[in-house]
Structure 1
Amino acid sequence: MSEPTRESRFTPRVFSGIKPSGGLTLGNYLGAIKRFVQTQDEGSFETIYCVVDLHAITVWQDPAELRAATREVAAGFLASGIDPERSILFNQSQVSQHAELGWIFNCVARVGWMDRMTQFKEKAGRNAEKQSLGLYAYPSLMAADILLYHATHVPVGEDQKQHVELTRDIAAKFNHDFGVDFFPLTHPVIEGPAMRVMNLRDGTKKMSKSGESDMERINMTDDADLIAKKLQKARTDPAPLPETVEGLEGRPEAKNLVDIYAALADLSPAEVLAQYPGAGWGRFKPALAELAVEKLSPISAEMKRLTADPAEIDRLLARGAERARAIAQPILQRTYDIVGLVRA
């Protein structure tokens, strides 16, 4: 992540979160968690990371599965290198200020803005009237997640960029309506290869926790043998790898595997192709599988160790929530004062 650019009065601060619905996949790791760790380690920003369990319940969740998924996401953060002392790590529902500011922003955001959110249209499909109000309005809660900490930067995938732009709109309208300069205009940060990891069986679709076949994705809890098997069986086309990135155009499965290799190895796709010019899949897939096992199997093993002790995960999340509230409460209190709400 680049050096912070911001008004001097705002602490350079990153906020981002992952929803605990289903298990973590390689897409979550390469598109989010790996970058969260890099940002933490660079030290240019204060880093706040959240398991956004309130977002998960916009569609019905089995309570026991939701608790397990929340702990699994937390374990994924920790196993990947998020340090709960250097970063703040918590689950959203333990910090009630998120929901409180979310209501304020429901009253700032406009219905027309929500109507333009493409994610709702994609998730609701033809049954929009049967969806929960939470699913429709959750972008304003996402804005509250970010602005509750005066976050200046948010690392997101392309599919979430629209929501950060909405966050900026809400901040600007709040500031304008009340004649203040209180909320920052947060910057979305999108960079590097494999920000959108695709399905191993269909390179035109995003890798998803809810796909029909487990072979479509790499789960962060997969062991070394299963990781290697899935990559060896990933769909490709008959042609060898090209010598340039331009040669990947129109080859979604080939592009996806090159992007995955690039992200795991901290290389650009062009650098990967320079290492394997004209290589066939019989050479490239085993190399990719070996790299993936090297990078991912230690994380998988550590996740299994952590999830075997849910009480320790809960303790770390509670400590993170305490630290998060220390930042959030004064910002919420000032928001209430600006709006004109009487507080004892």
Structure 2
Amino acid sequence: MTSTTSTPVHDATSADSPLWQPVTVGGLALTHRLAMAPMTRDRATPEGVPTELNATYYAQRASLGLLITEGTQPSEDGQGYLLTPGLHTDAQVAGWRLVTDAVHAAGGHLVVQLMHVGRVGHPDNTPHHRQLVAPSAVAAEGVMFTATGPQPMPEPRALTTDEVAATVQDFRAAAARAIAAGADGVELHSANGYLLHQFLADNTNHRTDQYGGSVENRIRFVVEVATAVAEEIGAERTGIRISPGNPYNDIVETQTHEVYGPLVDALAPLGLAYLHVLHAGDEDLLASIRAAWPGSLLVNRGGADLATRVKDLETGIADVVTVGTWALANPDLVDRLRTGAELNEPDVATFYGGDEGGYVDYPVLATSDASLS
């Protein structure tokens, strides 16, 4: 996200700005159209349990209304990074209850993002140290940070057809645990090169069963996961995130229109709470998704400026805009945008792992030197 510390933000100071108009997303009545995007922070316990520190972090940002959490593994096999939270044990449910209670007490809503990493990880970062699993036995280029330093991401094992079906049930069970922990819903992570995205992409899905080959087969797993979760917790509590054409985590997609058109068409009848698009630059594709999606559309434009995000609301391309690093560095982002205050500079060195520093100690207007314009 681009920092704006040197230039005060003026676009959102009017009460008439589309940013500050109410909207209903699924079963949630939101007072404005700005939301917090999911961001990995690597500050759970080694057992994947959220703590009071995590609860403080999210509660500080409750004024954003809709908070989408960091990626949370639905199973032991779903973990690829160090110190990420899970939702497959009772202890993890209890940890998430600390977070949801704190956010609700502060007036916000919390949606837990369920993320199975697939091939993006390393066995050293998992509780069982087993080989990674993915649609096909194709390793991701790049390295993964582990407790002993960066290591190349190894070749995963291809899931059997039965294991694909079992993974659908892992998502279903994790979604139920999220609701048991007090979450307002879940977001399925089908973006950024993780497992669901791997089933969609050209270079990661070489399967010859009903989950590979044709577009209908490649989208099948994503649709099955979304269907199972919606059946388990209610469609009004289920969102999904996609990132068409995003090459992150060594993803290659050469047929984005051909794949994502049918995917959106297959998801639309489920009546999900929202579709969350991490936009990679294809404006025609984004427009076609907007036209085909009957429900709430959340759009994240990465490093776009505020004016561009507001324009998405004005034109109806987005019903809600999500922001990442702005929310990370500004717990009081809503107040800062409403008043035209300068934004804090994000501390990149503390994004992943660590303690309170760069996590819960960013200044708010009452204690900072930010001047109002």
TM (norm. structure 2) is 0.27
More helix by share: 1
Bigger Rg over Cα: 1
With normalisation by structure 1, the TM-score equals 0.29
Structure with the higher fraction of residues in strand conformation: 2
